[in-house]
Structure 1
Amino acid sequence: MLPAVPDRSLAELARTGGEPDTLSLLNRDQDTRRLILLRAVLDAAEAADPALCSPAAKARLREDWALLTAADRAAVPDSPARTRLSYPLLGPWARRCLTGLDPRTSPPSDKRRRELALDLSYFSAVAAVAAARAGIPFTTELTARDGILVLPSLGALTSAERGDTRVRVTYEQARMTLDQVTVFLENDSGAWSGSLAWTSAYALSGLVPGAAPMPLDDLDPYRVPPREPDHYALSGPAGPDEAERKRWLQSWSGTAAALRTGGEGRLTEALALLRCLVPLEMPPGAGGRGSCSGTRREAFGALLSSAPATPVAFAATLVHELQHTKLAALSEMVELHRAGPAARYFAPWRPDPRPYDGLLQGAYSHLALADFFQRRALTVEPARSEGAWAQYARYHAQVGAALPALAASSDLTVVGRRFVDEMAVAHERLAAHPAPRGHTARAQAYVKAVRALWTQRQPRTESH
């Protein structure tokens, strides 16, 4: 039996790369897991106590699945149902539903029943959009949550009534009517209407000519995780105005060229893995210069980010976050380590101790950034190479400080040890083209200083 991940693909990924077939392997595996997750939601709903999930709700889920099946069978090159079911933000929705349906959760309160009913009703909107994209006529009723009905990839209707309301929806011949509001589907993304009650979904142009538009999703109700009382929690969701969207577009339009300066493979992985962008608020106190970004394991292909200041900053954010995407996907296919969640490792990019997995994730993404900025420093004109060399030197020094702890762990599996060894080889190869001496010295001094500060902050153990 062939291994889940071929040796060649494992080596490519360990070096922070990935040929198209390796990236396709990650995509196929994640899409399969998404379908299994959705099937788990349906099965959990069927098995749920009627007091929590009513017979009517169960019947509606079966109807929605049948509509999705019909859309999937429509004679189109790319099934609209599969496209909707592979959309990253459906993952957080499914996880939330499974939590709400879990019989081990606290007894079903009125609040829990309401939230679960609204969560499950969102699947009806997903099925309706898939059917509309497939050109299948239908008439149905959908639920507007707190007066807002979101139709993923199309837009959102703001109802005249507040609270949870029912909206009658009909579709035929590229025209959808939501109560008294008519919207017309665009070919690729979004839908337009003359009504002020309708807000169209927004998408940036394709990353390169011929690529599909990139959703900038500020409507999906499951687009950001719950806020955590943590210094490193993501900022809240943003609803970009026209000026902010212009800023996104300006940065995005130069991102492909910026990615290419760090190697053609960086553009390849962005085209293969990135499926949507979720705008976040600018971090407090950033003064328009800072940024905030992140990925979610349950939302493969989604990048959450505040508006990048420049195309180079956008490219670096993509390089950083797509490594988290790749490593998270790989970790679901093979076991790399058996380390626990104890936060005890020094990471020179954060002041707090990290668990082993967090250290591995951070070192992996920083290794990719070191590669990106070294390639950029070697290709751009001298006036712009100094900044790239400084970035390369710091990332390279940071990874060098983290690798010994990663390699020394007895919790690595056989596959995990090969992976970390390949990371070390890639790090060593980067050293063949060092940054100018001043950059290297400053980077090493920086790592030394943050290690000393980290050591001072750790609790001391009393000796007896």
Structure 2
Amino acid sequence: MTSRTPGRRFRLPRELFDELASGGGSPEAVAFLDRAERSRRLLLLRETLDLLEQRPEVRERRAAFDHAWHLLTEVSRGHPDVAEDLLMSPQLGSWLSHLLRRLQGTAGGPPLGTDVAHLFCLCLTAMVRAGLDGRLEVPVRDGGVVLPGLGLVRLDAPPEVTVATATLTGPRLTLDWAGGSVTVRPDRAGRTGHWLPLRTLHGASVPLDDVDPYRDLSEPIPPEPLDEETAARWQKVFAEAAAVLEPPTSRPGGLRVADVRRVVPQTGPALPRTARSGPVFSATTSDAFASMIVGLPDDGLTLAEAMVHEFQHSKLGALLHLFHLLDDDRGEAWYAPWRPDPRHLTGLLHGVYAFTGVAGFWRERLHDGGADPALAAFTFALLRLQCRLALRTLRTEARLTDVGRLLTHGLAGTLDGWLREPVAPDAARRAGAAARANLVEWRLRNLRCGDEERSLLRCERRAGRPAPSPGPWRAHLAPGPFWTDALLPLYRTPPAEPAEDPDTHLVLGAHGTARARYEDVLRGDPRDPHALTGWLLASAAGDPAYRRLLRRPERLHALEPQDPAELAAAATWLSSGPGG
């Protein structure tokens, strides 16, 4: 396999590509992606430097930039391991990509000079790690000076201070500014009033980065140092996660913890979670290979699942840097079972690849007993169904390249093999019901019949003629507000007894009672998409003819029934027509 990367051409051995296409990846496959990312970083660095040459922010401080570049060159020649570590650090990757987008006019942030001057902080880190003495000016932001990959020096300087002079003498770093001075020892791990070194998660040497300004997904953010109690919880939960992931495997769902380059604790308000995107916030950017942002969960099993999920995104992001996999107009039109909203095809591919890894993670837990067997069986059974459904969309609707077809073929092989594996019958039944419920409600919340189809449906019903076939038409997008799948947690862990709400009756198989209670809801709001979903599912369980309506439930919505009697009559009419 030959990549599209200009300059030096990378040839990915077919056996390594096949490993990655299956959703897994050996140490050799991940190492290849790492080398390819290194080449990409160098290309981005060259492009960024060329653009910087044209900027007045650089021309005005040409001597300072030349001095910094001379120091970096000295480090590269005398301490190539330090230079390599810095080049491949997530901190440099995120900053470099952000700065390039700033220079191209596609991103915002602080004054451009602040982003550009971060180069001096990277230079200072290189000097500290190489043990070089020297002096240079560095930017001050949010009251401190960051040493990417090492930590943060707090200056307690007033907001108007934007520059400090850094002087390295042996192990001591002194920062001077108008009105103050601070001296720290960056070689020491303990946190002091002025020096906040990055913590390392025990047992894996993975940095826990809570201070780097470029650790988020988009614009720079201020440092948010963890308190000691939270940091201790991170150490505990991470150790549990590492134990869950032992012994490492190259199969889909495996992760070698040593391959993770950085964990960023999600400390601000969590973004809204979807029903299947995971029990904890997590995210990844392809700018920082093998880095991940994760909220602190309660247990190691949850963290291990999130880490597998995000590392899958890193692998696919690296493959997308190497290969053109599909043509995508970025139209957000497609069903992704782990999202409440329509997705574009590249996002759908990312979801399939990530959740194939998560499905494999739960499959491993079935085999090693590392989780509740009922939970593992249900989650594996659900995700293999949902990933295969989304993959079918990609293989039939996306304009895949030859390499893209090979990748989706590999994923299909994995998922088709898993679909033949037996799981506990009750878990398989609940997983199928959960997958069906999510798809029906997603359609009711995001799709509508087009004007022509809607008019024909109403006309034919008024005329007393059979319902027309749904075949000639496709639904139109009409995304509604954010929603969560209320049925999924009930299917995952069914209650022992039904409650007053109709959902528990539906999940426990009391379909008649569930239908009657959904009708109570629909009397108050005939267009409630969740109640309409539950009513359809309960009705289909009692009358197989209604199952045809589940394929395109938006046709029932188009008839606008105003009460349960009209709803039942409309559903009966639709289900009796050709194709439902």
- TM superposition score category, shorter chain reference: 0.7 to 0.9
Following the alignment from structure 1 to structure 2, what is the Cα–Cα distance between the partners of residues 258 and 34? Answer: 33
Alpha-carbon offset, residue 272 of structure 1: 5.5
Partner of 1:10: 17
State whether structure 2 residue 21 is matched by structure 1 residue 33.
Answer: no
Q: Per chain length, whose mean CA-contact separation is higher, i.e. which structure has more relative contact order (CA < 8 Å, sep 6+)?
A: 1
Partner of 2:103: 101
Q: 1:260 touches 1:267 (CA, 8 Å); kept in 2?
A: no
1:37-68: per-residue Cα shift (whole Å, max 9, x none)? 122222111122x3xx2423333223212211
The 3-state SS of whatever aligns with 2:450 is coil
Q: 1:183 touches 1:192 (CA, 8 Å); kept in 2?
A: no
State whether structure 2 residue 346 is matched by structure 1 residue 349.
Answer: no
Alpha-carbon offset, residue 82 of structure 1: 1.9
Partner of 2:213: 221
State whether structure 2 residue 140 is matched by structure 1 residue 136.
Answer: no
Residue identity matched to 1:339? D
Partner of 1:205: 202
Partner of 1:453: 441
Following the alignment from structure 2 to structure 1, what is the Cα–Cα distance between the partners of residues 401 and 369? Answer: 40
The 5 A counterparts of 1:22-421 are 22-48=29-55, 50=56, 53-75=57-79, 79-102=81-104, 115-159=111-155, 160-179=157-176, 180-186=181-187, 191-192=189-190, 196-207=193-204, 213-226=205-218, 238-260=224-246, 263=249, 269-271=255-257, 273-281=259-267, 283=270, 290-380=279-369, 384-409=372-397, 411-421=399-409
Following the alignment from structure 1 to structure 2, what is the Cα–Cα distance between the partners of residues 31 and 435? Answer: 42
Gaps of 5+ in 1: 208-212, 228-234
Q: 1:124 touches 1:142 (CA, 8 Å); kept in 2?
A: yes
Indicate the larger mover: 245-254 or 165-174.
Answer: 165-174
The 3-state SS of whatever aligns with 2:135 is strand
Following the alignment from structure 1 to structure 2, what is the Cα–Cα distance between the partners of residues 331 and 169? Answer: 40
Partner of 1:230: none
Residue identity matched to 2:75? A
Residue identity matched to 1:63? H
- Give RMSD over aligned pairs: 2.8
Following the alignment from structure 1 to structure 2, what is the Cα–Cα distance between the partners of residues 338 and 267? Answer: 28
Following the alignment from structure 1 to structure 2, what is the Cα–Cα distance between the partners of residues 33 and 257? Answer: 33
The 3-state SS of whatever aligns with 1:260 is coil
The 3-state SS of whatever aligns with 2:449 is coil
Following the alignment from structure 2 to structure 1, what is the Cα–Cα distance between the partners of residues 32 and 67? Answer: 32
1:187-221: per-residue Cα shift (whole Å, max 9, x none)? xxx65575x233222221232xxxxx211111111
Residue identity matched to 1:170? T
Residue identity matched to 1:351? P
1:431-463: per-residue Cα shift (whole Å, max 9, x none)? 343220111111111111111112212132111
Q: Which has the larger radius of gyration?
A: 2
Alpha-carbon offset, residue 99 of structure 1: 3.4
The 3-state SS of whatever aligns with 1:392 is helix
1:72-102: per-residue Cα shift (whole Å, max 9, x none)? 1225xx6212211211132232233223334
Alpha-carbon offset, residue 152 of structure 1: 1.6
Q: 2:131 touches 2:170 (CA, 8 Å); kept in 1?
A: yes
1:278-306: per-residue Cα shift (whole Å, max 9, x none)? 111363799xx952000012122210011
Following the alignment from structure 2 to structure 1, what is the Cα–Cα distance between the partners of residues 297 and 307? Answer: 10
Alpha-carbon offset, residue 392 of structure 1: 0.9
Query: Number of paired residues?
Result: 434
Residue identity matched to 2:357? A
Following the alignment from structure 1 to structure 2, what is the Cα–Cα distance between the partners of residues 308 and 90? Answer: 27
Q: 1:141 touches 1:169 (CA, 8 Å); kept in 2?
A: yes
1:158-203: per-residue Cα shift (whole Å, max 9, x none)? 22322233322221322222233222233xxx65575x23322222
Alpha-carbon offset, residue 270 of structure 1: 3.6
The 3-state SS of whatever aligns with 2:90 is coil
Partner of 2:503: none
Following the alignment from structure 1 to structure 2, what is the Cα–Cα distance between the partners of residues 333 and 147? Answer: 40
Residue identity matched to 1:124? F
The 3-state SS of whatever aligns with 1:89 is helix
Indicate the larger mover: 270-279 or 450-459.
Answer: 270-279
Residue identity matched to 1:184? R
Following the alignment from structure 1 to structure 2, what is the Cα–Cα distance between the partners of residues 43 and 266? Answer: 40
Following the alignment from structure 2 to structure 1, what is the Cα–Cα distance between the partners of residues 61 and 301? Answer: 48
Residue 66 to residue 206, structure 1, CA distance change in 2 (3 Å): farther
Q: 1:224 touches 1:237 (CA, 8 Å); kept in 2?
A: no
Following the alignment from structure 2 to structure 1, what is the Cα–Cα distance between the partners of residues 135 and 346? Answer: 48
Following the alignment from structure 1 to structure 2, what is the Cα–Cα distance between the partners of residues 446 and 7? Answer: 37
Following the alignment from structure 1 to structure 2, what is the Cα–Cα distance between the partners of residues 348 and 198? Answer: 45
Following the alignment from structure 1 to structure 2, what is the Cα–Cα distance between the partners of residues 193 and 354? Answer: 44
Gaps of 5+ in 2: 4-10, 456-580
Percent identity of the aligned residues? 31
Following the alignment from structure 1 to structure 2, what is the Cα–Cα distance between the partners of residues 323 and 449? Answer: 27
Following the alignment from structure 1 to structure 2, what is the Cα–Cα distance between the partners of residues 86 and 202? Answer: 19
Residue identity matched to 2:88? S
1:413-448: per-residue Cα shift (whole Å, max 9, x none)? 111111111111101222343220111111111111
Following the alignment from structure 2 to structure 1, what is the Cα–Cα distance between the partners of residues 222 and 420? Answer: 42
Following the alignment from structure 2 to structure 1, what is the Cα–Cα distance between the partners of residues 385 and 254? Answer: 26
Residue 412 to residue 123, structure 1, CA distance change in 2 (3 Å): same
Residue identity matched to 1:174? P
Residue 267 to residue 239, structure 1, CA distance change in 2 (3 Å): farther
Following the alignment from structure 1 to structure 2, what is the Cα–Cα distance between the partners of residues 376 and 455? Answer: 32
The 3-state SS of whatever aligns with 1:73 is helix
The 3-state SS of whatever aligns with 2:100 is helix
Residue 54 to residue 173, structure 1, CA distance change in 2 (3 Å): closer
Q: 2:356 touches 2:383 (CA, 8 Å); kept in 1?
A: yes
Structure 1 stretches (4+) deviating beyond 6 angstroms?
Answer: none
Partner of 1:231: none
Following the alignment from structure 2 to structure 1, what is the Cα–Cα distance between the partners of residues 102 and 271? Answer: 33
1:339-363: per-residue Cα shift (whole Å, max 9, x none)? 2211111111222111111111111
The 3-state SS of whatever aligns with 2:246 is helix
Residue 251 to residue 191, structure 1, CA distance change in 2 (3 Å): closer
Following the alignment from structure 1 to structure 2, what is the Cα–Cα distance between the partners of residues 363 and 417? Answer: 14
Q: 1:351 touches 1:450 (CA, 8 Å); kept in 2?
A: no
Residue 261 to residue 444, structure 1, CA distance change in 2 (3 Å): farther
Indicate the larger mover: 157-166 or 123-132.
Answer: 157-166
Residue 405 to residue 371, structure 1, CA distance change in 2 (3 Å): same
Indicate the larger mover: 174-183 or 214-223.
Answer: 174-183
The 3-state SS of whatever aligns with 2:98 is helix
Alpha-carbon offset, residue 249 of structure 1: 0.6
Following the alignment from structure 1 to structure 2, what is the Cα–Cα distance between the partners of residues 55 and 418? Answer: 48
